[in-house]
Amino acid sequence: MPDRSPACDLRSDTVTRPTPAMRRAMSRAAVGDDVFGEDPTVRQLEELAAGTVGKEAALFVPSGTMGNLLAVMIHAEDGEVLLGDSSHIRLSECGGHARLAGSPAWPLATDRFGRLSPADVAGAVHGANVHQARTKLLCLENTHNFCGGTVISAEETAAIVAPARKAGLKTHLDGARIFNAATALGVPAAALAAPFDSVMFCLSKGLCAPVGSMLCGSQAFVAEARARRKMLGGGMRQAGVLAACGLIAIEEMTRRLAEDHASARLLAEALAGLPGVALDTATVQTNMVIFGYRGARGRDAAWLQRELARRGVLALVLPAGGEPRIRLVTHRDVSRADCRRAVGIFRGLLARQESP
Ligand code: TLP
């Protein structure tokens, strides 16, 4: 069975297949019942993950969505959550913060690079009163998905988090792609996670593991998350076969992300000048390229997605807020040559449809 998709699949880095080394590690992995705390490979992964982001402990969870939900449940205790208006937690996690954690969101304006204003954070905090729930938690996202995979530096993060800390809030980082941010900034992931009580990062995106994310924080926080993971149905048994891939994801796959960033830049620079494309190249900082499209004769992002798919290039139309936009994500399973081919297809399509 071929391990790579035949199409040039730029919909997401979640489409990556486990690498040959991961397949081998799965077959050799020592396993046990992880709900009984007896899976040695999961334990090893949790220790490695915690150390990598500079936290005391970590929990292997089935998805980033579950990791973020657990953080909201535990930190916010049904109080209010401050988060960016275009954050993944707000727009793409089925409203779990409200529906399952009982925590309403207080959305804050996000700039085009995914940053919140420290003054907005300070101004949004309120105590419980007859009209409002008490503000309990601030969540940030780095890299910021719907801003185009943009990065927030350690200094900017510290400035945004400071007013929340001063007001006694808990803080959580949705670091689904924290290693992309760390690579782009040339700093350890731990430096970006340092200001937060907890951080979630994903193994199953650009790091190529088939399943799983890590939720990291203090010993007490992770113990509580372990119990609540079981409540949510996320307790896994012989999960060592998955954790074995996670070990390779952290130890090896984090080192190659600059290649994906270079591919994204190649795509962005070629697409930015094409007719109908509205692309802010300053937001192309990691492995994503997001742009608007309006062509002649009412052709839009949905049309472009369809025509690309007919030619073997898969893209996503982002439904999250505002005018539909096209998202391309680079990853290990699309080579530089695939990206050059995709550029040729874009050029052929857009140049042709603009002519009378
Ligand atoms: N993002 C997916 C889709 O849901 C859009 C993708 O293809 O980018 N935080 C961030 C910043 C994410 O981008 C995602 C997934 C998650 C959390 C949720 O992770 P999973 O999919 O593992 O639940």
Break the chain into its structural domains and give their ranges: 8-12+256-354, 17-254
- From first CA to last CA, the distance across the chain in angstroms is 45
Which protein residue's CA is at the shortest distance from atom 19 of ligand 1?
64
pLDDT of residue 165: 98
Ligand 1 pocket test, candidate residues 141, 146, 202, 203, most atoms within 8 A of CB: 202
**Token representation of residue 109:** 């304006």
- Asked if residue 356 has pLDDT above 50, the reply is no
List CB contacts of 170: < 8 A, sequence separation 6 or more: 75, 76, 136, 137, 138, 197, 198
Q: Stretch 212-237: mean pLDDT, rounded?
A: 98
| Residue 14 alpha carbon, nearest atom of ligand 1 | 7
Q: How far is CA 100 from CA 73, 85, 281, in A?
A: 8, 19, 38
| Residue 174 alpha carbon, nearest atom of ligand 1 | 9
Q: Stretch 202-211: mean pLDDT, rounded?
A: 98
Report pLDDT digits (tens) over 50-107.
Answer: 999 999 999 999 999 999 999 999 999 999 999 999 999 999 999 999 999 999 999 9
Report pLDDT digits (tens) over 146-196.
Answer: 999 999 999 999 999 999 999 999 999 999 999 999 999 999 999 999 999
pLDDT band at 352 (very low <50, low <70, confident <90, very high): low
Q: Stretch 304-310: mean pLDDT, rounded?
A: 97
Evaluate: CB of 281 within 6 angstroms of ligand 1: no
List CB contacts of 253: < 8 A, sequence separation 6 or more: 19, 206, 207, 208, 209, 332
Evaluate: CB of 317 within 6 angstroms of ligand 1: no
φ, ψ for residue 325 (rounded to 5)? -130, 155
Q: How does the average pLDDT of the chain come out, rounded?
A: 96
pLDDT of residue 319: 74
Domain 17-254: state its class. Answer: alpha beta
- Asked if residue 222 has pLDDT above 60, the reply is yes
Q: Which CATH architecture has domain 8-12+256-354?
A: Alpha-Beta Complex (3.90)
Domains 8-12+256-354 and 17-254 fall in the same CATH topology = no
Which protein residue's CA is at the shortest distance from atom 17 of ligand 1?
64
Evaluate: CB of 202 within 6 angstroms of ligand 1: yes
pLDDT of residue 322: 75
Report pLDDT digits (tens) over 96-131.
Answer: 999 999 999 999 999 999 999 999 999 999 988 899
Evaluate: CB of 290 within 6 angstroms of ligand 1: no
- Asked if residue 198 has pLDDT above 60, the reply is yes
